[in-house]
Structure 1
Amino acid sequence: MRVTISGAGLGGLCLAQGLRQAGIDIDVYERDPAITARFQGYRLMLSPAGLEALRGCLPPRWHRLLDAILGDARAGRLILDPQLNPIGELGQVRTGIVADRHVLRHLLLTGLPVHTGAALTGYEPRDDGRVEARFTHRDPVTADLLVGADGITSAVRATLSPQTRPTDTGVRFVIGRTPLTGQFASLEPALGSKITGDGVSLLLGAMQFRTPPREAAETLAPEVTLPDVGDYIRWAMVLPPAGSLDGMTPQEAVLSRTEGWHPDLRALIEQADADHSTLLSIRVVEPRERWTPGPVTLLGDAIHATSPTGGNGANTALRDADVLRRCLIATPQDRLGAVEHYERQMFEYGAEAVRSSLDALPSLTR
């Protein structure tokens, strides 16, 4: 069996690792001109199911390395005013294990055949039950299965399920990261909490690795090369309705909305890595109408993009990878039946993930 995966995000790469372990031929095609063409790394929360799916797809020899590069989430569960005084409590807040997306992606890339600068331009099912995919600057590729793991603007979805389109929630937020130093000790109670004032909310979360990623790889898995990333605070500011940068940089936009806030909060934004601060819109994709089962399917944000408030986008994509892997391995002679079995499960839990993330969105914006 040969599987072609369009998209080198966490979900697509996790699937590729899992299938490669099972002896299934895979190729990954990525539209970006290079793996590091754009920054793709912030702290993310791994649910028990997401971590289990990740372990299921990774080679067992890397499990110790995975454990070493994770961190433990802190959850203050407080609502604070701009001077860091408690004024309330958050509702149910998920705690657990955190990972850095940039580091995790490099682990998942290890040893995989990834073709960059290869945007999908179309595909055609063949009479023999296989599929021919076309990518820019490449000869056509024939596979038994094409998996669209190409994100919220998925080119695979545009053909497979053109009626399924992203919905803009109207919510905008600025996100960035700042090295975690002793200067920010006063922010300890704010980690895992929400600071609210002047019509905006600021959320902070720490990424503290159990072992520095590069050091962990050199010690536990020398064949893996991980980026040299230090501990940091991930911050995100939710802007008011119709909020924008108004021609400012992301940092300037946050600083303009935090005049008079606690000086350590101001310093946190001022010292952020400017290259890793950006404005994002919250868009979702809801899986609704099923397509006719065939040699093409979707995974991750391509079919169920969630609001980040649910904390389940990456976890659901990892679950997709593991479920699809298990289905293909269980019935290798009935490939289409395996894909249909995967899709029935994925549509159910994927739709629930989107709904729960939207239900949590108001708590972020007020």
Structure 2
Amino acid sequence: MRVMVAGAGIGGLCLAQGLLRAGIDVRVYEREAAADSRYQGFRIGLNGAGLAALRECLPGRLHGLLEAVLGSIAGERRVVDQHLALLRQLPPADGGAAADRQVLRRLLLAGLADRVEFGRAVVGYTERADRTVVARFADGTSAVGELLVGADGVGSPVRRQLLPEAEVVTVAGNALLGRTPLTERSAALVPGFGTIVRGPGACMLLGRMQFRRPPRLAAAELAPEIDLPDIGDYLRWVVMLPGPLGPAPGAPVPGDWAGVRDRLLALIDGWHPDLVDVVRRSDVANSSPLTVRHARPVAHWGTRRVTLLGDAIHVMPPSGGQGANTALRDAALLCRSLTAAHRGEAGLPAAVEAYERRMLDYGFTAVRESLEQLPQFTPAP
């Protein structure tokens, strides 16, 4: 069996690791030119299900390195105003871990050098009568396998062909994603799991990314063949806005973070100096506007030689902290289903259908729950 995966994000790579571990021929095709050709976003929270799925697919030899480069997300959650006066104390959070997306992606690429092809954008597919599927690439070439998995994100060309009626909704307003090097001063803003700042015209979410061990040093000791990014601890923050930022029409322009930052500083003028300092010292290369989207539920489409995973099928707002976790859960579940087919315990179509029906159920439950939580992070217009 050959499985083709469109997209080398966290979900697609987690699936590839699991399939390789099961002895299944897998190939991953990624449209980006290289693993580090653009910044990948940053701190995500991994819950128990996400961590379990990740460990299930990742080779045992890398579990120690994974644990070393995670961080803690536990303790108190609080809501404060723009002057840091306490408005509300939320129930404390416990369990799970923080992961840097770039570090995790590089870890998931370990051992896949001959399985991942960069600069290969899947733009469509053709299903053939011999029960194979042909993946077509932007450069005019193609590849053949028994299954194509669309793990190619919210703009998935695979989904657009498979489910042309599927809707992805852009949430009104704007959001900004920022990363600021962690200092003693900024760390005090997040004494536990996270802090929500509710100010006039904006809502700011703050969370720490403190690695248990520096990623590059941990890899040098525990898995010298893996070159992890040299990233220090940082504060991850998101600012939710009810509309466009500043006098310029439309949403902020990616790549112009310095200009976006200056407009945001004008908006939060008068906020507590520590909050202003976080925005002022933000990492220009690793901060950006963020478009918040969600998928509308779809019914099962009838199993084919093509399926979907992660944001390609059930993209959701970050408000529930479930996007990456659900993609990892997809990867582990699909890996289990395909492994059963590989062993002759189930036919391939039946195995894929079992995955799809379960994935659609919990995936769109996560979308609904994330939408239900979104208002608490959205400022009034």
TM-score range (shorter-chain normalised) is over 0.9
Pick aligned residue for 1:231 from 216, 230, 233: 233
1:10 aligns with 2:7: no
User: Which residue of 1 is the match for residue 356 of structure 2?
Assistant: 343
For 1:123 and 1:218, the matched residues in 2 are separated by 41
Per the TM alignment, residue 318 of structure 1 is displaced from its structure 2 partner at its CA by 0.2
Q: Provide the aligned length of Structure 1 versus Structure 2.
A: 365
What are the equivalent positions in structure 2 for 1:161-310 lying under 5 Å apart? 161-189=163-191, 192-240=194-242, 242-244=243-245, 246-247=247-248, 249-310=259-320
Superposition TM-score, scaled by structure 1 size: 0.95
Per the TM alignment, residue 94 of structure 1 is displaced from its structure 2 partner at its CA by 6.7
Q: Which residue type is aligned with residue 287 of structure 1?
A: P
For 1:279 and 1:198, the matched residues in 2 are separated by 19
Q: Which residue type is aligned with residue 319 of structure 1?
A: R
User: Which residue of 1 is the match for residue 37 of structure 2?
Assistant: 37
Per the TM alignment, residue 168 of structure 1 is displaced from its structure 2 partner at its CA by 1.1
For 1:187 and 1:292, the matched residues in 2 are separated by 49
User: Which residue of 2 is the match for residue 61 of structure 1?
Assistant: 61
Q: Which residue type is aligned with residue 182 of structure 1?
A: E
Asked if structure 2 preserves the Cα contact closer than 8 Å seen for 1:120 and 1:135, the reply is yes
Change (3 A) 1:103 1:19: same
CA root-mean-square deviation: 1.7
For 1:246 and 1:110, the matched residues in 2 are separated by 45
Asked if structure 2 preserves the Cα contact closer than 8 Å seen for 1:174 and 1:279, the reply is yes
Secondary structure, aligned partner of 1:187: coil
Asked if structure 2 preserves the Cα contact closer than 8 Å seen for 1:310 and 1:360, the reply is yes
Q: Which residue type is aligned with residue 206 of structure 1?
A: R
Asked if structure 1 preserves the Cα contact closer than 8 Å seen for 2:245 and 2:264, the reply is no
Per the TM alignment, residue 328 of structure 1 is displaced from its structure 2 partner at its CA by 0.8
For 2:42 and 2:146, the matched residues in 1 are separated by 34
For 2:319 and 2:94, the matched residues in 1 are separated by 11
For 2:156 and 2:38, the matched residues in 1 are separated by 17
For 1:356 and 1:239, the matched residues in 2 are separated by 21
What are the equivalent positions in structure 2 for 1:299-338 lying under 5 Å apart? 299-332=309-342, 333=344, 334-338=347-351
Asked if structure 2 preserves the Cα contact closer than 8 Å seen for 1:237 and 1:254, the reply is no
Per the TM alignment, residue 5 of structure 1 is displaced from its structure 2 partner at its CA by 0.4
For 2:87 and 2:225, the matched residues in 1 are separated by 49
Q: Which residue type is aligned with residue 345 of structure 1?
A: R
Secondary structure, aligned partner of 2:327: helix
Asked if structure 2 preserves the Cα contact closer than 8 Å seen for 1:170 and 1:281, the reply is no
Per the TM alignment, residue 31 of structure 1 is displaced from its structure 2 partner at its CA by 1.1
Pick aligned residue for 1:135 from 134, 137, 150: 137
For 1:341 and 1:94, the matched residues in 2 are separated by 32
Structure 1: 5+ residue stretches without partners: none
What are the equivalent positions in structure 2 for 1:106-125 lying under 5 Å apart? 106-112=106-112, 113-125=115-127
Change (3 A) 1:331 1:190: closer
Structure 2: 5+ residue stretches without partners: 253-258
Change (3 A) 1:246 1:302: farther
Superposition TM-score, scaled by structure 2 size: 0.92
Q: Which residue type is aligned with residue 141 of structure 1?
A: A
Secondary structure, aligned partner of 2:328: helix
Change (3 A) 1:56 1:205: same
Percentage identity across paired residues of the two chains: 48
1:356 aligns with 2:369: yes
Q: Which moved more, 1:263-272 or 1:130-139?
A: 130-139
Secondary structure, aligned partner of 1:204: strand
For 1:130 and 1:246, the matched residues in 2 are separated by 53
Change (3 A) 1:75 1:42: farther
Asked if structure 2 preserves the Cα contact closer than 8 Å seen for 1:69 and 1:210, the reply is yes
